[in-house]
Chains A and B, each alone.
Chain A
C-alpha cells in the first residue's frame, strides 16, 4: 500500500466530490426540469464547453487503452491521432446545424431529431436503442480507469467484496452528485480533471524523456522491444496496414460525434459560435492524446513488463515519479473517468426517458416527470455499469465497446446525413440500419473480437479496413436502393416536422 500516493489521491478525490455537489447551485436553474438537469439549460459558453466536451471525449479509458494498444501493437495504436484531428472539422460543419434544429424544437437526443425529421417512431427507437447499447459498455469501461489506479496503489483487496468496494464507493459518490446536480456536475468537475491531466502530461513529457535518454532513444528502444515482442510489431506502419489505419481514423471520427454523450455536450452549449470556436481549440486535447499514446513507447523503453495491458500507464508512472506525484497523476486518471461516466449516464437516461418512456409508456409525461425518470434511470445505468465490471469478465465489456463503435456509426445516415437531406425514406433508413448492424456485428464475430479490422474480400482483392466503415457502406447502399424503390412506388414518407429555417445560423459570426 502506497500511503503518500493514496493520501494525495484521496484529497483530490474529496475535492472534486465537494465540487460535484456544489455544482447544483452553480448557474442557477430549476433542476426538476429535464433540460436544466440534463443540458444545464443550454447555457455553456466557449470556455466551459471546451472543458465539458474535452472531458467528455477524452475519457479515462482512452488514456488507459490507447497507450496499452501502442505498448502491444505499435504504430497502429496512433490511429487515435488522425481520428481526433478529423473529428473537429466534422464538428465545425455538422454540429452547429444540429444544435440549431435541436434548439428550435427543444430536441434533447439524436433520436428526438430523427423522430421529428422522418416522422418515424420505429427509426427513432432504433437510434435510441443503438445509442444506449453503445454507451453502456463505454460507461463500464470508465470504471476500469478507476480500478487500475486503485489496484496500482494497492488499495484493492485480493478477493470478494473487498476487491470491488473502493470502486463501488467511488461510483456511488458519482451517482449521488450526478443525481442532484445533473450536467452541471461533470461540467465543473471537468475543469479540475483537465487541469490535472494537462499538468500530469506536461510533467511526464519533461521528466520521462530526461530519465530515458530523450525521445529519439525512446522511439528506438521501443521499436526494438516491439520487434522482439510476443507479436512482432513496429513503430512504423507496414503498407498492409495503411487502409486499416485510415478507415479506423475516419470511421471513429464520424462515430464519435454520433455518441449520445457527444451530442449532449454539444447541445448544452449556448450557441453555434461556441461550438465552432471549440472545434478550433479542442485539438489541444488531441496533442495531449498523442503524447499519452507515446506513454506506450515510454513504457517499452523503461522496460515495464506486464501481461495486463491496462496497467501499462500506472506502472510507468510508478517507475518514473515520486509517490506524491503518482497520487496526483492517478487522481487525474480516476477523476478523468468520472466526467465522461457522468455525461454518458445522463445521455443514456435522456434517450431512455425521451424516446422509450415518453414515447411508449407515458405520452402525457410533463417535463418534470421526465426529469424525475431521467434522474432515476441515471442511477440504474450506473448500477448496470458496476454489475458489468464486477460480475462479468472484463473482456465482455471490451468486446461490447468495440461493437458499440461499429453500431453507433450505423445511425449516421439517419442522424448526420438526415441533417442535410430528407431524400432518404424512413423505412429504407430502418432497413439500412438493420443491414449495417448485422454486417458490422458479423464482422466483429468473424474476427473473434480480437480486432475491429475486417479483411473485406472483393474478388481477388483483400481490403483490411475498420468493420464500422464496411458496415456503414452496406447500410448506405441498402438505404439508397430502398429509398429509390419506395419513392418510385409512392410509399408514404411521413411528414417532416422541421423546416429549412430551423437549420440556419442563429447568430452571425461577430466578425462576419
Chain B
C-alpha cells in the first residue's frame, strides 16, 4: 500500500459525518411515532444508530480507512 492509496482510503473516513448528522439534527427524530416494540421513535432510532455506527466502523476498518 503506497501513500497515495493510503490517503485515498483515509478519505472513506468522511463517511463518519453521517452518524453526526443523524444524531445532531435532533428535530428529525424527536417524535414519538412510529412506535416499534413499545419503543417510541426517538428511542429506537437512537438504538438503531448505535448499531449502524458500529457497522460503519467495521466497514471502514475492513476498507483500511
Contacts and interface: CB of A to CB of B under 8 A. Distances in A.
Interface stretch (A272-280, A346-354, A406-414, A476-484): A272-280
B47 to A, nearest CB: 6
A284 to B, nearest CB: 7
B38 A219 contact: yes
Contacts of B32: 235-236
Interface string A252-289: 00000000000000000000010011011101101100
Most chain B beta-carbon contacts within 10 A, residue among A82, A237, A245? A82
Contacts of B56: 89
B24 A236 contact: no
Using C-beta atoms within 8 Å of the partner chain, give the interface range for chain A.
Answer: 35 or more
Using C-beta atoms within 8 Å of the partner chain, give the interface range for chain B.
Answer: 35 or more
Given A280-B57, A280-B58, A512 B64 contact: yes
Interface in B4-63: 6, 9, 13, 16, 19-20, 23-27, 30-32, 35, 37-40, 42-43, 46-47, 49-51, 53-58, 60-63
A246 B49 CA distance: 15
A85 B23 contact: yes
A237 B26 contact: yes
Nearest to B49: A85
A217 interface: yes
- The majority secondary structure among interface residues of chain A is helix
A85 B42 contact: no
B39 to A, nearest CB: 6
B46 A78 contact: yes
A274 to B, nearest CB: 11
A117 to B, nearest CB: 21
A88 B47 CA distance: 15
Nearest to A294: B43
B40 A88 contact: no
Interface string A140-153: 00000000000000
A298 to B, nearest CB: 12
- The majority secondary structure among interface residues of chain B is helix
Interface stretch (A22-30, A101-109, A367-375, A503-511): A503-511
A89 B26 contact: no
A250 B57 contact: no
Interface string A5-41: 0000000000000000000000000000000000000
A500 to B, nearest CB: 11
Most chain A beta-carbon contacts within 10 A, residue among B16, B27, B61? B61
Given A82-B46, A290-B46, A509-B61, A89 B37 contact: no
B27 to A, nearest CB: 6
A88 B57 contact: yes
B24 A216 contact: no
A86 interface: yes
B10 to A, nearest CB: 9
Contacts of B47: 81, 287, 290
A208 to B, nearest CB: 13
B57 A89 contact: yes
Contacts of B31: 236
A75 B42 contact: yes
Contacts of A157: none
Contacts of A245: 26
Nearest to B37: A215
Contacts of B57: 88-89, 92, 276, 279-280, 283
Contact of A88 (B1, B9, B54, B62): B54
A52 to B, nearest CB: 18
Contact of A250 (B24, B37, B53): B24
25 contacts: A78-B43, A78-B46, A81-B50, A82-B49, A86-B19, A88-B57, A89-B16, A215-B37, A215-B39, A219-B38, A235-B40, A236-B30, A236-B40, A239-B27, A242-B26, A243-B26, A249-B23, A250-B20, A277-B61, A283-B50, A290-B43, A508-B1, A509-B61, A509-B64, A511-B64
